[in-house]
Amino acid sequence: MAELNELILEQLLWIIGGMALLTVILLIVSIVQGAKLRKFKRKYEAMMAGSGVEDLESLLVNLKIQMDSIEDEHKLQTNQLQVVMQKLTRIQGKVGVKRYNAYGERGSDLSFSMAMINDSQDGMILTGIYNRDGSYVYAKPLKGGESTYTLSPEEKEAITLAQQAE
């Protein structure tokens, strides 16, 4: 045991010097970490200023609630958009008009055929025949671009014009 005490006494200067060096290193690390912590605290306080919440947890909970609300609204708008798109395909928005002279040389191009169809080629064709004695209007239903009634060449052309409309 005496040998161990003697060995420690011989190395005591090195041990104390090493401990002092370790203490200085730890003090420097502590000062650097304190500076980083103060910088982080300033950033945190600047971020939380004006938010109306006291801590980060409350802020995150509020953001989660807002995000859930936004997601619910997004789902609602997506559903509404799907309903509108389904209705839009059924709207008879494609129109084709063909004007012509129904009686050859006795009149002018006052007669017409107008096709109104949707994307499925469903709709109607409206034909107006004009002459000096009067005018007549006929309506024919269309299903898939065809009618149960006989279509004139002008009515077929009006349907073709409607199909080409965007």
pLDDT score at 79 = 96
How far CA 163 is from CA of 67, 86, 145, in Å, comes to 45, 19, 9
Determine the Cα–Cα distance for residues 38 and 49; give it in Å rounded to an integer.
Answer: 16
Angle at 68 between CA 70 and CA 72, to 5 degrees: 55
Instruction: Provide the CA 68 distance to its chain's centre, in angstroms.
Output: 16
* N residues, the chain: 166
Distance CA 113, CA 126 (A): 6
Please give the Cα distance from 87 to 80 (Å, whole number): 11
Tokens for 34, please give them: 């304190």
Pinpoint the alpha helices (H) of the chain.
Answer: 2-48, 56-90, 153-164
DSSP 141: E
What is the per-residue pLDDT for 12? 86
* CB crowding 42-67: b at 16 or more within 10 Å, else e: eeeeeeeeeeeeeeeeeeeeeeeeee
Q: What pLDDT is attached to residue 55?
A: 78
Contact 84, 115 (CB under 8 A): no
124 contacts: CB under 8 Å, gap ≥ 6: 92, 115, 116, 139, 140, 141, 142
pLDDT, position 26: 97
Give the pLDDT confidence score for residue 164 in this predicted structure: 86
Give the global pTM: 0.51
pLDDT given at position 124:
94
The pLDDT of residue 94 is 86
Quote the pLDDT of residue 90: 73
Write down the pLDDT at residue 99. 92
| Mean pLDDT per 10-residue section of the chain, whose length is 166 residues | 83 90 96 95 82 77 93 96 86 86 76 90 92 87 90 92 83
